[in-house]
Amino acid sequence: MAADRLLPVTLLTGFLGAGKTTLLNNLLRQEAMAGTAVLINEFGETGLDHLLVETLEDEAVLLQAGCLCCTIRGDLARALEGIAKRVRDGQDLRRVIIETTGLADPLPILQTLMADPGTARHFALDGVVTVVDAVNGTATLDSQPEAERQAAVADRLLVSKADLTSQNKLSTLLARLAALNPVAEPRILGPGGLDAADIIGLSPETAPLRDEALLRWLKETAPAAHHHGSGGHHGHHHHDANRHDSRIHAFCLRFDSPLPWDGLATWLQMLTATRGDAVLRIKGILDVKGQDRPLAIHGVQGVWHAPALLPSWPDAMRPCSQMVFILRDMPRDVIEKGIAAFCAAAITPKRAEAADD
């Protein structure tokens, strides 16, 4: 690839459940994004996002098992090299979007993109797009240093879920974002999503200012440049892909028989409503009784989003239920026991009815 044909890379970041995949789906449907290769990184051993992005074809690569900022930076460089090779082989790829896990510190990823010699030969950072959730945003910026960094280094700040919050809360968040990042004027994401032109070609305008912010962050955080806040991230060595720090961990539950939706929904809603502090993220693709299409579910801290039926089961997946939980200070068995109890309760009356027949 010639230097004047460096492939532009957009880093799409934002805290857990902020709305990155929703935005990605919206962008990929647009003509301007034709020829986009997508790299998706999810925290924990099992990722579902590649199944939730509607238009992904062969060009998507799932960077799994770990936090992109730490354990799999090598994987990122290798995945980008794979994309460069496909371009050399004649594939018409014109852009790369990297969707990071919501727990990623963007700085080491930016370092890889900007400073890794192999990567810099073929790719140029086109901009950092950060999605901030209007419902949880302010509290998340207070409690999660990586969320603060995601906002601070953005070239484009996008505020999602304004429809779910009050004007007061929104104004507080916007003021906080303006103080954190005076360069990237926040935009509110409406129901129509975003025109792809709004995230293309960002760097020329903001790169010098962003680089200053990056240098500042790097100085402040050296030498453990990418270690995360509370509890201290484990870093590169002996890193457990399912553990972010001593408090935050992820796991996936799989069920091969269809689940009773009523019991499960009641329990999951109750869990997010009462333990939103501990439940950072729940997402799942479910096989529910009486339904032949998959049901996508999303819980984000204290918010339970309306479940959505997907058009059909992805080719890669036999009907079954998979749920990813990212929890802070809550053990796995609380979830397992809760699901088992509520599902059993939902099934038991039907058994009793059947016995009466």
Calculate helix-pair angle for 145-152, 167-180, nearest 10 degrees.
70
CB 344 within 8 Å of CB 259: no
Least spacing, CB of residue 153 vs ligand GTP, in Å: 17
Q: Which residues share a beta bridge with 322?
A: 254, 285
Question: Which residues fall within 8 angstroms of residue 348, CB to CB, at 6 or more apart?
Answer: none
CB 76 within 8 Å of CB 70: no
- Compare residues 119 and 272 and give the one whose CB is closer to ligand GTP: 272
Binding site for ligand GTP (CB under 6 A): 14, 16-22, 49, 102, 160-161, 163-164, 189, 281, 283, 298, 300, 305
CB 89 within 8 Å of CB 1: no
Least spacing, CB of residue 280 vs ligand GTP, in Å: 9
Torsion over CA: 338, 341, 344, 349 (sign): negative
- Compare residues 184 and 297 and give the one whose CB is closer to ligand GTP: 297
CB 203 within 8 Å of CB 184: no
- Compare residues 73 and 281 and give the one whose CB is closer to ligand GTP: 281
How far apart CA 175 and CA 138 sit, in angstroms, is 10
Q: Which residues share a beta bridge with 95?
A: 36
- Compare residues 84 and 131 and give the one whose CB is closer to ligand GTP: 131
Least spacing, CB of residue 102 vs ligand GTP, in Å: 3
Chain centre to alpha carbon of residue 42: 7
Strands 36-41 and 95-99: parallel
Least spacing, CB of residue 85 vs ligand GTP, in Å: 27
Least spacing, CB of residue 180 vs ligand GTP, in Å: 19
- Compare residues 19 and 263 and give the one whose CB is closer to ligand GTP: 19
- Compare residues 160 and 203 and give the one whose CB is closer to ligand GTP: 160
Least spacing, CB of residue 10 vs ligand GTP, in Å: 15
